[in-house]
Amino acid sequence: MASERLSSIINHLTPSKNGLSAITQKNPDDVVITLAIRTPLAKGFKGGFKDTGLDHLVYLTLTKVVEKMQKTKLDPQMVEDICLGNVSDGKAAYIVRAASLAAGFPNTTGGSSCNRFCSSGLKAVQDIANQISMGSIECGLAIGAESMTQGGDRLAKPFHEEIIKVPEANDCMQPMGQTSENVGRDFDISREAQDRYAAESYIRAERAQKAGWFDDEITPITTTIKDPKSGEEKKVILAKDEGPRYGTTAESLGKIRPAFPAFGDKSTGGNSSQVTDGAAAILLMKRSKAIEMNQPILAKFCGATVAGVAPRIMGIGPSIAIPKLMSKFNLDLNKDVDIIELNEAFASMAVYCLNVLKIDHSKMNIRGGAIALGHPLGATGARQIVTGLSECRRQKKKILLTSMCIGTGQGMAGLFVNEQL
């Protein structure tokens, strides 16, 4: 610890101007991740969390965080704020506060919620990290959670007529499936290309699950499920993702009928992200505090950024957000980044981003993505960090990039440095 502290001081006094060497330096004021866990991802409406409400899911996740903190001798009172990323529940701020108190955090620990649709989990991480960077808090917890069984993100009613008379504002009401078909049609991404991409996601998830790679990132959760016929309740331990479908091929996906026939014929239930319930949690603090408290440093959070695009083609958001983030840190996407977690909201947008950014597919979504694993809206931004850092550790790689498209026409991207080599 003493040598690491000395190294941090020296690096802080002699900062580097070069992009890669700058972000890999270790300074006392760095915001670092000391804990990154997630629940298994369960099928919406029929999976292991179908009878677990968002409040209980958040509570169960937070109890696991407390258990992990106890193992590293970190008192829960050290956590000064908790931010919950969630999309579909307007009571999320109530939920995170009550659940944190029930889970063992003191009443001195604050709580809030945030919602930037599919990036909400990453937005929660950014919110906590920014507070730490500004000196508002020393330690905070970001959590992303979603029960898609309980609710989606559709608008209950149209916007005011003064809003919808502006075409782009009106486009914000387009269903996500429609925006996927827009991307496929506008950029000539064929059904076959989308099915091929989706099949690869399933193949990778199957390989990762069979090899036990997910065991490093998943924390088993005990919950209750109810038999839909008898009403009988029983305790279950969920320990693996339910989304992977072994043996999936492009040919079998090609037989699935279009999911959004009113808008096009390319997006299907097989090449789109799954409706999923799940959660993930990221504990952050300054490097100096982590060293002081003798906490394991998993990674450094470098930063995140957001970018807007036309709402009707919201899926292309990462193709704008990623270059923006790379330019902020003076990095080359293909030379400097080792592992990429790109959310597969739809195969249309994943294929588009892969092609336009010229990403080496061998380092993107190595364990499969949302098509095979699922996309619990508020959780995904945090889940990607947990998965990506686990893969970095497995491969002994350093630089992780996460990104996702966002409903209403946005993209977000985050940058991390793995320190568990």
> DSSP secondary-structure letter at 243?
-
Angstrom CA distances, 102 to 59, 63, 143, 144, 176, stand at: 7, 8, 16, 18, 36
Q: How many Å apart are CA 351 and CA 382, to the nearest integer?
A: 22
Angstrom CA distances, 207 to 28, 213, 263, 290, 377, stand at: 39, 9, 34, 35, 24
**Nearest residue to 93 via CA among 124, 122, 65:** 124
Tokens of residue 168, six digits: 């782009």
353 flagged as catalytic: no
- CA 113 from chain center: how many Å? 15
> DSSP secondary-structure letter at 173?
T
160 flagged as catalytic: no
Of these residues, 83, 114, 118, 139, which one is catalytic? 118
Of these residues, 114, 302, 353, 375, which one is catalytic? 375
Q: How many CA atoms lie within 13 A of 18 on its CB side?
A: 5
**Nearest residue to 98 via CA among 127, 55, 128:** 55
405 flagged as catalytic: yes
Instruction: Show which residues are catalytic.
Output: 118, 375, 405
